[in-house]
Amino acid sequence: MDLRPFDPADAEPLTRMLHRAYAELGAQGLNFTAVDQSVATTLYRASAGASWVITEGDAIVATVAVSCPPGEALRGLSAEAGRPGRAWVNQLAVAPEHRGAGLARRLLDHGLAWARTQGATSVGIDTAEPATHLLALYQRWGFARVETIQWPGKVYRSAVLVRPLDPP
């Protein structure tokens, strides 16, 4: 499986993969953006920082986006997102049939290495409070919960987690 930068031509197949990856959360009533986002939204979100995909053959099977600094909307909701030197992990997803193979961690490590090159000293991530399996995963990866925010239009509150970046 190859890890490579996102290309705008990836937007349509990436959107389809995101819909599949987030379908389980959507079925639980959690209206994550990626449950039903448009191709234009995928392109916007993937272009808001640096984004990568993992492919198997021609199929996109995983993705992550990292912004440094975090986006303006997030900084308006979260004091943590506005801290100096903070990067943010967005739209981390693995196709259901590829979960458990370490792809999310591979993408996270790649994104954190990039964030260090941008001068980041710490990184944040947010997710729905009811997504306890994701909270547990992020905590295993060294993130600590520090804040709760409410994204407009979402039916859930989001936990904000942060962790320092190890020096290169």
Nearby residues of 134 by Cβ (< 8 Å), 6 or more positions away: 127, 128
Delimit the domains of the chain by residue range.
Answer: 2-123
CATH number of 2-123: 3.40.630.30
DSSP output for 18-75: HHHHHHHHHHTT---GGGT--HHHHHHHHTSSEEEEEEETTEEEEEEEEESSPPHHHH
* pLDDT number for residue 167: 67
Q: What is the pLDDT of residues 17-43, one digit of tens each?
A: 999 999 999 999 999 999 999 999 999
Kindly report the pTM of this predicted structure: 0.93
Q: What is the pLDDT of residues 68-104, one digit of tens each?
A: 999 999 999 999 999 999 999 999 999 999 999 999 9
